Amino acid sequence: MIGEILNVIIAMSPIFVFLYLASLGNSLVEKSGILNLAIDGAYTLGVALVFTLLVFVNDPTLALLITSLLIGLLGVLIAFLTTKLPISHGAVGLSIQFVGYGLASFLAYPMSLKVRAERISLNTYLTIPEVVLTFLTLSVVIGVLTYLLIYRTKLGAAIRAVGENPAGASALGINVLKIRIVATFLGYVLIGSASSLYLLLYTKNWQEGLGMGYGWISFAISLSSGRHPLVGIATSIIFATLIRYAYVLQDVLVGYGISISTFIVIALPFIAAVFIPLVVTAIPQLRRRFAPPKHLGKIFFSEERSV
């Protein structure tokens, strides 16, 4: 019995880790008021980057660290563009998303040919209990730390302040750009490590388009947990279960004489990604508690009057 539970946990942990960390990152970014539409591009790019780096350094941890740092810098760029220039968060986010998609193929595709041609064996993480449980523990610890950061420290108060009311925050003496840069850097480092772990701990190899869509699922997790790091644990478990056990569900349903197409099974987490946030926002109590930061996605003009 205990063994079975452990097996389930080990099977689900990698999925939980690569979803939860990215959703944490998204929450940090959005708490600071930046609409994070670039997330899926960044995720896909992260997967490609870690793969490319792995071919060169052949050390998963080193590849993970460099990827996280580089994706973190991408976050800094986003914070700068959305805060300093009067362009919409949507335009910045979506263009960076497509740049991310494109760059991912551009970098990783030649590498994948090289790996195949030269029969390089990639040194990824082993899916053994010790490793998997270490990452699981680490990600929960990071989640708790993120919670403490957001709700118990001055930096957290500053991040929430610039997301709610940047003009007010700036009148209180906060440099909006600086705080947003810190928040998106940390957030994108998390998104970068999540996407790295997606490859290093889960797929172990790369193919065209790998990682696409998982950024959005993490986005949905963050949204339907009200961008709360601890609530996000529960939401991530739901999505991890969907991804891991959708096929089991299909089998079970067949047993009852219901057959659903495999396409739907594959799409299930994405359908849930649309559906769960909708349900959450339709429930008045949750909607109020999970309300987005007031200034999320709005352009911040530092000279705009605040009547």
Ligand X SMILES: Nc1ncnc2c1ncn2[C@@H]1O[C@H](COP(=O)(O)OP(=O)(O)O)[C@@H](O)[C@H]1O
Residues that bind another protein (CB under 8 A): 152-158, 160-161, 164-165, 167-175, 294, 302-307
C-beta of 175: minimal distance to another protein in Å? 7
Q: Look-up: residue for tokens 């079970």?
A: 252
Look at residue 288 and give the partner it binds from another protein, ligand X, none, a contact being a CB closer than 5 to 8 Å depending on partner kind.
Answer: none
Look at residue 1 and give the partner it binds from another protein, ligand X, none, a contact being a CB closer than 5 to 8 Å depending on partner kind.
Answer: none
C-beta of 149: minimal distance to another protein in Å? 8
Torsion of the alpha carbons at 77, 81, 83 and 89, rounded to the nearest 10: -110
Specify the residue, 26 or 165, whose C-beta has the smaller distance to another protein: 165
C-beta of 307: minimal distance to ligand X in Å? 9
**Rounded CA separation 21/33 (Å):** 19
Look at residue 158 and give the partner it binds from ligand X, another protein, none, a contact being a CB closer than 5 to 8 Å depending on partner kind.
Answer: another protein
Judge contact between 47 and 206, C-beta under 8 A.
yes
C-beta of 296: minimal distance to ligand X in Å? 22
C-beta of 199: minimal distance to ligand X in Å? 49
Residues 223-252 that bind ligand X (CB under 6 A): none
C-beta of 29: minimal distance to another protein in Å? 17
C-beta of 162: minimal distance to another protein in Å? 9
The residue type of 85 is L
**Rounded CA separation 77/73 (Å):** 6
**How far from chain centre, in Å, is Cα 72?**
12
Specify the residue, 208 or 304, whose C-beta has the smaller distance to ligand X: 304
C-beta of 154: minimal distance to another protein in Å? 4
∠ Cα 160 22 210 (to 5°): 150
Which member of 119, 154, 288, 305 binds ligand X (CB under 6 A)?
305
The token pair that represents 282 in the structure block: 């339709």
Q: What are phi and psi of 110, to 5 degrees?
A: -60, -35
**Rounded CA separation 11/5 (Å):** 10
Judge contact between 210 and 52, C-beta under 8 A.
no
Look at residue 94 and give the partner it binds from ligand X, another protein, none, a contact being a CB closer than 5 to 8 Å depending on partner kind.
Answer: none
**Rounded CA separation 159/283 (Å):** 27
Closest listed residue to residue 37, CA positions, set 259, 302, 296, 303: 296
Residues 265-304 that bind ligand X (CB under 6 A): 303-304
Helical packing angle, 60-84 and 39-57, nearest 10°? 150
**Rounded CA separation 249/267 (Å):** 13
Specify the residue, 77 or 155, whose C-beta has the smaller distance to another protein: 155
Look at residue 207 and give the partner it binds from another protein, ligand X, none, a contact being a CB closer than 5 to 8 Å depending on partner kind.
Answer: none
Specify the residue, 107 or 155, whose C-beta has the smaller distance to another protein: 155
Q: Look-up: residue for tokens 């906060």?
A: 174
Specify the residue, 131 or 155, whose C-beta has the smaller distance to another protein: 155
Specify the residue, 142 or 158, whose C-beta has the smaller distance to another protein: 158
Name the closest residue to ligand X (Cβ). 305
**Footprint on this chain of ligand X (rule: CB under 6 A):** 303-305
